[in-house]
């Protein structure tokens, strides 16, 4: 089956610093990747849609200058949280959409990255 | 936009059956998904419905009625490992998923 990895799995950083999270599709090419954020005991909220070779599309209320997304290849998307603050502490999950979607469960989720900003 | 409702919590006994309901009001519909999520982990796919009716997959079944904006996930022969959060998600025409808040199922011995 399709596998998506994320790195790091958890990270602690100081307020004001930037953190980069990587999302990789390991055995398939993903023209589209999605970034979600999940606060404790809440559901996943879509932050942005990342398309290979083009600018990401951000959901309403998500600051594009704070959450920088780069999708430089068909297997890698990165999310950089810039000038992180404690309120950015959350569980960040990416998913990748398989290029050939005859497969109906087309979004494959990564294992998530736990970010804690102190 | 999307409005997806599901109960917050449910409790059931090991070996029993539990049904988790999901109602939705969406601006576009291109399929409904159910995911299982254990605390601190990513969601794992359980089922997919795009046409009306019941889809059965082992101990898990999912039902969809598009005219009613309604789905349910049926978990049979509950096991302790089924204790988790169950997420209902609707896919729109742009292939984006909108998730409900999730239903926490607790299985008791």
Q: Cβ contact (<8 Å) for B43 and A114?
A: no
Residue given tokens 């008791």 in the structure block: B108
Distance set, CA A96 to CA A2, A40, A82, B83, B104 (Å) = 9, 23, 23, 26, 25
Q: Cβ contact (<8 Å) for B87 and A43?
A: yes
Per residue in B35-80, pLDDT (tens digit) is 999 988 889 999 999 999 999 989 999 999 999 999 999 999 999 9
- Distance (Å, rounded) from C-alpha B84 to C-alpha B73? 13
Distance set, CA A82 to CA A32, A35, A99, B4, B78 (Å) = 22, 15, 30, 31, 44
Contact list in B for residue A91 (CB cut-off 8 A) is 40
Residues of A with CB under 8 A from a CB of B: 32, 34, 42-46, 49, 91, 93, 95, 97, 104-107, 109-112, 114
Per residue in A15-67, pLDDT (tens digit) is 999 999 999 999 888 888 999 999 888 889 999 999 888 889 999 999 999 99
> Closest residue of B to A6, CA-based?
B42
Mapping DSSP to helix (H, G, I), strand (E, B) and coil, where does residue B97 land? Answer: strand
């Amino acid at each position: 089956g399709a596998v998506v990895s994320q790195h790091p799995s958890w990270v602690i950083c100081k307020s004001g610093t930037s953190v980069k999270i990587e999302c990789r599709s390991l055995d398939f090419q993903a023209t589209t990747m999605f970034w979600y954020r999940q606060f404790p005991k809440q559901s996943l909220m879509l932050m942005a849609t990342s398309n290979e070779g083009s600018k990401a599309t951000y959901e309403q209320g998500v600051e594009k200058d704070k959450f920088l997304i780069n999708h430089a290849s068909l297997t890698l998307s990165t999310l950089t949280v810039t000038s992180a603050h404690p309120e950015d502490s959350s569980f960040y999950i990416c998913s990748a959409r398989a290029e050939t979607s005859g497969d109906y469960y087309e979004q494959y989720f990564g294992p998530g990255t736990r970010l804690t900003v102190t | 936009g999307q409005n997806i409702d599901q109960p917050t919590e449910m409790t059931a006994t090991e070996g029993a059956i539990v049904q988790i309901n999901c109602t939705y009001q969406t601006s576009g519909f291109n399929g409904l998904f159910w995911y299982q999520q254990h605390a601190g982990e990513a969601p794992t796919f359980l089922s997919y419905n795009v046409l009306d009716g019941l889809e059965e997959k082992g101990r898990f079944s999912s039902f969809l009625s598009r005219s009613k904006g309604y789905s349910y996930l049926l978990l049979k022969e509950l096991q302790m490992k089924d204790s988790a959060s169950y997420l209902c998600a609707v896919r729109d025409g742009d292939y984006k998923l909108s998730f409900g808040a999730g239903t926490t199922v607790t299985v008791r011995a």
